[in-house]
Amino acid sequence: MSRIGKAPIAVPDKVTATITGQHVEVKGPKGTLAFTCPDEIEVAMADGQITVMPRGKEKRARQMWGMARTRVANLVTGVTDGFTKKLEINGVGYRAQVQGKTLKLSLGYSHDVDYAIPDGVEVKTPKPTEIEVAGADIQVVGQVAAEIRDWRRPEPYKGKGIKYADEYIFRKEGKKK
């Protein structure tokens, strides 16, 4: 039994959810998101709550149960509150700034890196060494944050690079004479 899958998903007042077969569409103040559940999963809505149940007892149905419930819950959370990933930049001269729909990164290369911000994602730089990626779709927000981080991953000796705010960099000791 999936402990995650058993929990019903509460739909807030300002959110409308429509279920047609396997397709779940959720509309809220931050936009509209949709997810198509696997065939092994049954989705139903009753009394302002969405429930997700497996259709059979097969292993694949049980595997998809918790995942499908989490994906639907992320739709509801995304259209109400949204998701945010925070990145920190460490290194002398490393900085970031937003110019229109472009994130300009100075990361020690001979040129600046221009990252085009995709639709549905908002990128802010409260400080030159902080980046906040926000949006309704958790997958897109995480993907954008990962792509920004890939331009200069943190290295283990001095910790220079772009890291997630809650990430711990395992530090190594340098060479000894």
| pLDDT tens track, the chain, 177 positions | 568 888 999 999 999 999 998 999 999 999 999 999 999 999 999 888 999 999 988 999 988 999 999 999 999 999 999 999 999 999 999 999 999 999 999 999 999 999 999 999 999 999 999 999 999 999 999 999 999 999 999 999 999 999 999 999 999 998 888
Token pair, residue 162, equals 């772009």
* Ordered structural domains, the chain, with CATH: 3-80 (3.90.930.12), 83-164 (3.90.930.12)
Say what the pTM is.
0.88
CA angle 83, 87, 92 (to 5 degrees): 165
Nearest to 101 by CA among 118, 89, 113: 118
pLDDT value of residue 1: 58
Q: What is the CA radius of gyration of the chain?
A: 21
